[in-house]
Structure 1
Amino acid sequence: MMYFILLGFSDTPNLQRILFGVFLLIYLSVLVCNSIIILITKIDPDLYTPMYFFLGNFSFLEVCYVTVTIPRMLMDLWIQKGHISFLACAVQMGFFLMLGGTECILLTVMAYDRYVAICNPLHYALVMNHKVCIQLVAASWISTVPAVIGQTWLIFSLPFCASHMINHFFCDIPPILKLACGNKFVTETAVFVVTGSVVFIMIPFLLIVVSYGKIICNILKLSSARGRSKAFSTCSSHLTVVVLFYGTGIITYLQPKPNQSERMGKLISLFYTVLIPTLNPIIYTLRNKDIMKAVRKLLAKLLA
């Protein structure tokens, strides 16, 4: 059976046990923090709103997202062998792309929710009713599947006649394509322009920019400084997550190939696969009084 070798962090052999401990703590913190957000959005009646419904789904998505990469990385760090079968590599890439694409679309949905809440508040309850919210979340998940299947099939149908050593810690698109031989132009064009970068990065990003452009224009029209501050505070957390996630995604997948450094690519991948999911619960909770209040209520019940 054909297999690849994930080199991971083999260039730092003396630090692999330390890295294992660090990434294990990060993974557990992501699981715990996002699980708390999911729990409080389900049990606290004050959080039964579209914004927190989307946040609960986003937290569940984050748990799935990190589970695709970190457990495998922990295993490789512990046993210090990065062998991964052709099929397992394709499955990991497929799930990673699907969850990444879903996150792009869900962030767009959350931006639309804030747009309706701020720019059309009188019709908010009607436009963003529970049925619509469920449909938007379902569409975020389902719409990525056909494109990702086609994308993954295109990549793994290429002949791999070069080294099978992947200088990365998971099966991502750029390092896999570097191992392929033959005429890759058509495949790379389809992957980066048609099914990948344009559909799941640029189009959602442009929709978010348009939404926030209208939101900012509407907020600036408010006469009350307190009203402007409150409106901005409801969007700041989401906007911070969007900038972090899309910023690293654009650098990774839209950067010209000659400018891509393997070491830098690995570092950026660590940022958006490990660090951002760790920061997201903190970003969403620190400045959100409703969530902090719900967490205190939950702790009071658990300690009573």
Structure 2
Amino acid sequence: MCYGPDKHTIPCIVDLRDTNSYKDVRVNLESLNKNQIELFLAIEQPEKQAREELRHNADKYFPDVPLADWNSDKGFADLPLFGTIGYMYECYARYISMEYTDGQTLWEKLFDNNAVQKDMFNVHSTPKQPNDCHPQKEYPQFDTLFGPEDLDGGMAGSQNKAIDMMCAITDQGEGNSAGIKHYRRTQLLRAVQPDYRESDEALKLDYPAYDGDGELAASRDAAARFHSAAFDHYEHFQEISKDILHPKVATSEQLLTWEQWHAVAGNQWTASMLINEEYDAASAPQDILTPDDVAGALNRLKSE
């Protein structure tokens, strides 16, 4: 609902028309172009840059916690504009850390250790399981689920884990989680801090090649994700913007977008792009589309 050629607001975060650098940016899903890169930069910008961008509208952004005049009749539409995603998470961290007169935090009053959880990154399947597609954890040094062990010594463990998860999100996005770390219940020094980067070995196993090049392709695809992990998203989009706004002289290293690839006569999707050497049509599931069907659909979408 927030995307469209006439949209300018990232819900609960910022109306880009209030900024200096992004006031003409559309909140729209487009090809990898100048507008899309600037939208990504606006979404992931760190708080320091955002406060500078919004200095003429400071009263409209970066609300204090608890939110002023908030009551049980208010809902999503009444939420303020937080300025950045990182500051929104910091407000979240401050809220769950607030103590009531009985000494309990909001987290302690609401947390349910038996709640259903979905792990998209550290799920670990074995060859004996039917969906053997994730042989290793992507973040082996970072726990992405709550468990009974978190409650040892009370609720502080689970609350700290929630804070660490928020730190991972903001550290990967805008590259700064210092403000959120402050809200851990215990600040003990740990020999190994959580590592928010993906594992190189796990990526190579979890994301095999789909272009017929076998191990070489698997290593190349995984390497692209692993070697960019040292950069937060904001830095990564800054780097890509150089190629979009100031393209290099044509070289093998030049960034090639799908739009540019499709513009070359004869380029279109083929079934071979969607499979690897392990694919066997005879044993493939019969209740899903074939690679030829998918390739055909992609080409029709592009042509129409």
Q: TM-score range by the shorter chain?
A: 0.3 to 0.5
The one of the two structures with greater contact order (alpha-carbon pairs below 8 A, sep at least 6) is: 1
TM-score normalized by the length of structure 1: 0.33
Larger % of helix: which?
A: 1
Q: Greater CA radius of gyration, 1 or 2?
A: 2
